A and B are shown apart, each in its own frame.
Chain A
Amino acid sequence: MHNNKYLRDEIIRISGADVSKCMRCGKCSATCPAYDEMEYHPHQFVNMVECGDIEPLLNSESLYKCLSCFACIDRCPRGVQPAKVVEAVRLTAIRKQGANHITADDIPAVVDADTPQQLLVSAFRKYTK
């Protein structure tokens, strides 16, 4: 539990979000455009971080489904900023050595003639360190 407390405090610190303000209304998940892709949804990220139940999140593909569209941040009636919580957990995962979610070698297979540079730099910014 000591490790989880440390992780919890670290994630809250770097996210700048106050997870204790969440009233479990679920509006963040209801408005999330990546909801169907996620195993853990934005309201679960907030709740699980608050409870220190972070290992399942660190190992979940849900980390890479958030689109940074900021809908949950703008529409949360309590100002919890769930996307910042998701981002802090994702950074905790990819900051470990060798834990990048994608590499340059993955790219040739997934680009086409029209792929904008913005798509690649955004993905690398979100998925790698």
Chain B
Amino acid sequence: MKVSYFPGCTLKNKAKDLDMYAYKSAEVLGVTLEEIENWQCCGGVFTTANDEVATKLSSIRALKYAGDKEQPLVTVCSACHNVIKQTNHAMQTNSAFADKVNRYMAADGSYKGETEVYHYLEMLRDLVGFDVIKEKVVNTLKGKKIAAYYGCLLLRPNKVMRMDDPENPTIMEDLIKSLGADAVVYAKRNECCGGYISLESPDAAKKNSIAIIENAKVNGAQMIITACPLCKYNLEKCGADIPVVYFTELLAEALGVKEDTNA
């Protein structure tokens, strides 16, 4: 199976592991990630205002590129996924917005929100299947107690993301279990780490992040997995004393394709 793939700015720089292990694991699972040519940064956060058009065009170009190839669009970064899925939803539901966008895009032909958008986790669940992943595991993670950290962007706003139950999600826990490990469920797994507030008020981000780490640890977690570079940064900067890793790295480890390529 071939899918269009939108990596995003951080995955080409500070979050290379998230990207590299996504590629390697997908290959084992029979999925080829075809990187979109000349993709542009999604902007990091979705701008909710109705009259914001230009800030959403990079997402629409990526969506249209995948649509023209008749492929689903897959993203692995929580933020890119959130921005692109919300933009696509706006194209489907807000005709005044879609009209404006198509006037900007006139040279490239029109787009109405036809492309299907998947987070890499959704791809694993819906296009590959956790039972298939279970069969491909060569290094079982049995005995490890792993806490999934969803944060905010994977799940919300639920009306648009439609990924999982926003208050009681299971998609990452199901992945952890399919790799043979124990999934630690804890209350703060879908509360915000502080996001971009760490730029101006690092102490505020620290307070949120410590509460998340402590909550995971009290419930027995030995490791936290995430899909978001900014969550990883905030959780590590608050002084976490358990490892915080990308879920793709854990997947690659279990599938036997993890290498120590960047120290």
* A interface list, Cβ under 8 A from B: 13-16, 33-34, 36-37, 64-65, 67-71, 73-74, 81, 83-84, 87-88, 91, 102, 110, 114-123, 125-126
Q: B86 to nearest A CB, angstroms?
A: 9
- Which of A34, A110, A119 is in CB contact (< 8 Å) with B204? A34
The answer, yes or no, to whether B233 is at the interface (CB within 8 Å) is yes
Given known A-B contacts A37-B204, A87-B47, A114-B14, A122 and B230 have beta carbons under 8 A apart: yes
Mostly, the A contact residues are: helix
User: Taking CB as reference atom, which chain A residue is nearest B51?
Assistant: A14
The answer, yes or no, to whether B49 is at the interface (CB within 8 Å) is yes
User: Which A residues are in CB contact (< 8 Å) with B14?
Assistant: 114-117
- Which of A69, A84, A110 is in CB contact (< 8 Å) with B48? A84
Q: List 7 A-B contacts (CB under 8 A).
A: A14-B51, A70-B157, A74-B158, A110-B199, A114-B233, A116-B232, A120-B199
Bound form: Cα–Cα A67–B79 in Å: 13
Bound form: Cα–Cα A34–B201 in Å: 11
User: Which B residues are in CB contact (< 8 Å) with A71?
Assistant: 152, 156, 191-192
* Chain B 201-219 interface mask (CB, 8 Å, partner A; 1/0): 1001001100000000000
- Which of B13, B15, B44, B201 is in CB contact (< 8 Å) with A122? B44
A70 near B45 with CB under 8 A, answer no
Given known A-B contacts A68-B46, A87-B48, A125-B45, A116 and B233 have beta carbons under 8 A apart: yes
* Chain B 74-98 interface mask (CB, 8 Å, partner A; 1/0): 0001010000000000000000000
B197 near A34 with CB under 8 A, answer yes
The answer, yes or no, to whether B50 is at the interface (CB within 8 Å) is yes
User: Which B residues are in CB contact (< 8 Å) with A81?
Assistant: 48
User: Which B residues are in CB contact (< 8 Å) with A115?
Assistant: 14, 233
Bound form: Cα–Cα A64–B191 in Å: 19
A119 near B233 with CB under 8 A, answer yes
Q: Which of B49, B51, B230: most chain A CB closer than 10 A?
A: B49
Bound form: Cα–Cα A65–B203 in Å: 13
The answer, yes or no, to whether B198 is at the interface (CB within 8 Å) is yes
Q: B42 to nearest A CB, angstroms?
A: 8
Bound form: Cα–Cα A101–B89 in Å: 29
Bound form: Cα–Cα A114–B202 in Å: 14
Q: B185 to nearest A CB, angstroms?
A: 19
User: Which A residues are in CB contact (< 8 Å) with B198?
Assistant: 119
A37 near B233 with CB under 8 A, answer no
The answer, yes or no, to whether B113 is at the interface (CB within 8 Å) is no
The answer, yes or no, to whether B9 is at the interface (CB within 8 Å) is yes
B15 near A74 with CB under 8 A, answer no
* Chain B 221-249 interface mask (CB, 8 Å, partner A; 1/0): 00000001110110011000000000000
7 nearest CB pairs, A to B = A122-B44, A69-B152, A70-B156, A69-B192, A121-B44, A122-B196, A33-B192
Given known A-B contacts A117-B14, A119-B233, A121-B41, A65 and B197 have beta carbons under 8 A apart: yes
Bound form: Cα–Cα A115–B46 in Å: 20
User: Which A residues are in CB contact (< 8 Å) with B52?
Assistant: 91
- Which of B152, B207, B208 is in CB contact (< 8 Å) with A70? B152
User: Which B residues are in CB contact (< 8 Å) with A118?
Assistant: 8-10, 15, 44, 77, 79, 228-230
The answer, yes or no, to whether B43 is at the interface (CB within 8 Å) is yes
* Chain B 28-55 interface mask (CB, 8 Å, partner A; 1/0): 0000000000000101111111111001
The answer, yes or no, to whether B260 is at the interface (CB within 8 Å) is no
Q: A103 to nearest B CB, angstroms?
A: 13
User: Which B residues are in CB contact (< 8 Å) with A83?
Assistant: 48
Instruction: Kindly list 17 other residue pairs between chains A and B, CB separation below 8 angstroms, not including A68-B152, A87-B47, A116-B15.
Output: A14-B51, A33-B191, A64-B200, A70-B152, A71-B156, A74-B157, A87-B49, A102-B199, A114-B237, A116-B14, A116-B233, A118-B79, A119-B196, A119-B199, A121-B41, A122-B43, A122-B230
